[in-house]
Amino acid sequence: MIADYAWLLSPAALFVLGLCIGSFLNVVIHRLPLMMERQWFGDAAAQLAESEPVQKIAALGKPEADKLASAASALVKKLEALPALTLSKPRSRCPHCGHQLAWHENVPLLGWLRLGGRCAKCKAPISKRYPLIELTTGLMFAALSWRFGAQPTTLLWCAFAATLLALAAIDWDTTLLPDSLNQPLLWAGLLASHLGLTLVPMHEALAGALVGYLSLWSVYWVFKLATGKEGMGYGDFKLLAALGAWLGWKMVLPIVLGASVIGAMVGIGMKMSSALREGRYVPFGPFLAGGGFVVLFAGSERVLGWLGWV
């Protein structure tokens, strides 16, 4: 039965699927951080709108606390009055003129090429990253079909790769690694291992999650106690835990080593070119994801062979 539908999992078919998924990833990468920030502001404003707790926690007088609560309440109302912002609403539109994209303008990759990389109405340039994300996702899906063959579990690895790509792009843009992506990725890896879908035994997947999280957690606290500064965020711990769950505990150290070396090289290059963002830091998540991609496409045995650990 599977053989009858094998063409649906061929490199060509999964390339087309990847283009479509890449188009959705563009929405996730752009909107998810905005949705998170709106939620955070709303939660903070709702807390500040409670006058009595503010007086107690901030040691403020009643007049000052009431004034702050009044301003916070006004902010809550403004946030509630904003148009809905989800992954499906509003429809895609030009950020410059507000032109709502027609269906043919939203066709993955081809829509951007047809428009010449510019808005159909105001002719403002459309970022090249949109078609790049779509093309990258398509190529990854095709490569995974070649790597694992035309079998249903290939779709599982496609989902893993797509989530990694979204996390890497979001972290690069905002230094955020959303729990709404990180945590499902971790649990999906453990569940897939339990069901025998990833070729990583359950005990190795569980050990990978523990080693991945605790290793960076330990580095975080050693660095913070030594310098008083935070060298990375908690999202990095969770991402490495997810990679350990999918790829096994043996891959945790190679991923960290590769991510550290490449991250340091990129950071030095950005510093020399004055391209470092405010605060002089480079997010670590994209390089962890990059290490995961190397293991995914090369295979754990080959990676261990490169390091001479076989």
The residue among 112, 130, 150 that closes a domain is 150
- Give the pLDDT confidence score for residue 121 in this predicted structure: 87
Is residue 29 pLDDT above 70, yes or no?
A: yes
- Give the pLDDT confidence score for residue 309 in this predicted structure: 79
What are the contacts of 113-120 at 24+ separation with CB within 8 A? 119/94
In a shared domain, residues 184 and 210: yes
In a shared domain, residues 236 and 290: yes
Coil, helix or strand at residue 111: helix
- Give the pLDDT confidence score for residue 4 in this predicted structure: 65
Please state the separation of Cα 172 from the chain's center in Å.
9
Please state the separation of Cα 155 from the chain's center in Å.
19
The residue among 104, 124, 150 that closes a domain is 150
Domain hosting 166: range is 152-310
Alpha-carbon distance values, 227 to 106, 219, 242, 293 (Å): 48, 12, 28, 32
Summary mean pLDDT of the chain:
91
Alpha helices, H only, the chain: 11-48, 51-58, 62-81, 110-114, 129-148, 153-174, 179-194, 202-227, 234-247, 252-272, 285-298, 300-306
In a shared domain, residues 169 and 101: no
In a shared domain, residues 275 and 159: yes
- Give the pLDDT confidence score for residue 65 in this predicted structure: 87
Is residue 2 pLDDT above 60, yes or no?
A: no
pLDDT tens digits for 54-82?
888 888 888 898 899 999 999 999 999 99
pLDDT tens digits for 120-172?
889 999 999 999 999 999 999 999 999 999 899 999 999 999 999 999 999 99
**Closest by alpha carbon to 129, among 23, 231, 44, 235?**
23
Question: For the residues 189-195, what does the mean pLDDT come to?
Answer: 97
The residue among 127, 150, 173 that closes a domain is 150
Under a CB-based contact definition with an 8 Å cutoff, are residues 47 and 67 in contact?
A: no
**Closest by alpha carbon to 231, among 220, 239, 242?**
220
Where does the pLDDT of residue 280 fall: very low under 50, low under 70, confident under 90, or very high at 90 and above?
A: low
In a shared domain, residues 168 and 289: yes
- Give the pLDDT confidence score for residue 3 in this predicted structure: 59
Residue 264 neighbours by CB distance under 10 Å:
12
Cα–Cα dist 243/209, whole Å: 7
**Closest by alpha carbon to 155, among 145, 165, 143?**
145
Number of structural domains (the chain) is 2
pLDDT tens digits for 230-261?
888 899 999 999 999 999 999 999 999 989 88
Is residue 181 pLDDT above 90, yes or no?
A: yes
In a shared domain, residues 170 and 59: no
In a shared domain, residues 141 and 167: no
Mean pLDDT highest for which of 20-29, 58-67, 108-117?
Answer: 20-29
